[in-house]
Structure 1
Amino acid sequence: MSAELRLLPWPGADGRRAYLATDDATGFVSRLADSIEAAQLDTGAEVLAHVRDLLEVPRATSGELRFAVRRLAECLDDALRVAESRGARLPTLDEKGDDDGPKLPAAAFE
Structure 2
Amino acid sequence: MSGGGPHEARLLPWSTPEGKPCYLDSDGSGYISRVADTIESVQLGLAGDLLDHADELLAEDEVPPDQLRQTLAQVTEALRNVHRIAQSRGARLPLDPDGYA
TM-score, normalised to structure 1's length?
0.78
The residue aligned with 2:40 is: 37
Task: State the match for 1:89 in structure 2.
Answer: 92
Find the residue that maps to 1:58 and give its secondary structure: coil
- Following superposition, the deviation at residue 72 of structure 1 comes to 0.5
**Distance across 2 between alignment mates of 1:55 and 1:93:** 42
3-state DSSP of counterpart to 2:47: helix
What is the distance in 1 between the residues matched to 2:8 and 2:52? Answer: 36
2:21 matched to 1:17? yes
Cα distance in 2 between the residues matched to 1:65 and 1:42 = 21
Q: CA deviation at 1:4?
A: 2.9
Q: TM-score, normalised by structure 2?
A: 0.85
C-alpha RMSD over aligned residues:
1.4
Give the CA deviation at 1:13: 2.8
> Whose relative contact order is higher, 1 or 2, with alpha carbons under 8 Å and at least 6 apart?
2
Compute the displacement of 1:56 (Å).
1.5
Amino acid at match of 2:78: C
Provide the C-alpha distance between the structure 2 equivalents of 1:75 and 1:15, rounded to a whole number of angstroms. Answer: 16
Bigger radius of gyration: 1
How many residue pairs align between the two structures? 93
After TM superposition, give the deviation of residue 14 of structure 1 in Å: 2.0
3-state DSSP of counterpart to 1:4: coil
After TM superposition, the runs of 4+ consecutive aligned structure 1 residues lying more than 3 A away are none
Q: Using the alignment, how far apart are the partners of 1:93 and 1:9 within structure 2?
A: 26
Deviations 1:18-66 (A, max 9, x none): 11111x2110000111111111011000001001101122121111111
Map 1:1-110 → 2, pairs under 5 A: 4-22=8-26, 24-94=27-97
Q: State the percentage of identical aligned residues.
A: 39
